[in-house]
Amino acid sequence: MKKTIKLLLGKIKRQPTLRFLAALAAVLCSLMLGLLPGLSSAVLGQFPTVSIPTVTSSPRGIYVRAIGDEYDPLNIRSGPSSTYERIGIFTIGQEAKAYGYYEGYVQIEYPQGPDGKGWVLLARVEVIGGTLPMIEPPPTSTPSVTRTIDPTLAAQFIITLQPTRLPTFTEPQPLMIPTFQAETGATAPGGIPLGLVIVVLAGLGLFLTLIAILRRG
């Protein structure tokens, strides 16, 4: 191999045309070698050898969808009862993330509610994605403003009954019925029976009559 290269170099030295062609080939080779780094970097930029992490979506979790009459939306309340304040409306077909349930209400994600949550009727929603756990209800809220009745407005609805013109009926006094004591027998003053007094008087009259007859005879 070395002998062959030496023979070629000898021929190039003896022939000027061959020397020109060899010089031209050397220049072209140097230009090509200068362009190779740029080409290699471009190829590396287009085809990276590093691993790119893939983005995977997380599961949606448990959520609910409002069902029922489209003209009868659900009320969103601050707690699991109709006594809690109404804070929004949950339209039919609307979906929201669910956290759990308590009695007949389910807690959903509601940005305008307390802590970003609200409560809707469990019977009016469809639970999707799992089973809801039972959670503790929030404390009973106290109204910030006490509702009072305007006395002027209330006076307009007070109805005063007018007295009737019909004669009134007065109940009569109860009848006083006299009572008499039953007498067991006729007695003279002093408690002497009246029959005895009559007999004594009759006997006395007969006695006096006899005396008068005897005096005349």
Give me the residue spans of the domains in the chain: 2-36, 63-128
Which is more confidently placed, 22 or 172?
A: 172
Question: How many residues in total does the chain contain?
Answer: 217
60-70: per-residue pLDDT in tens? Answer: 789 999 998 88
122-141: per-residue pLDDT in tens? Answer: 999 999 999 999 998 887 76
Single-letter amino acid code for the residue at 151: P
**CA distances for 190 relative to 60, 117, 207, angstroms:** 121, 108, 25
Assign 41 a pLDDT band (cuts: 50, 70, 90): very low
Closest by CA to 136, choosing from 98, 97, 107, is 107
Assign 71 a pLDDT band (cuts: 50, 70, 90): confident
For residue 62, count CB atoms less than 10 angstroms from its CB and return exposed for 0-12, middle for 13-18, buried for 19 or more.
middle
pLDDT at 5 over 60: no
179-196: per-residue pLDDT in tens? Answer: 766 655 556 566 677 777
pLDDT at 196: 79
- Which letter does DSSP use for residue 187 in this model? B
Per the listing, tokens 């021929």 go with 11
Cα atoms found within 13 Å of the Cα of residue 28, Cβ hemisphere only:
6
CATH code for the domain defined by 63-128: 2.30.30.40
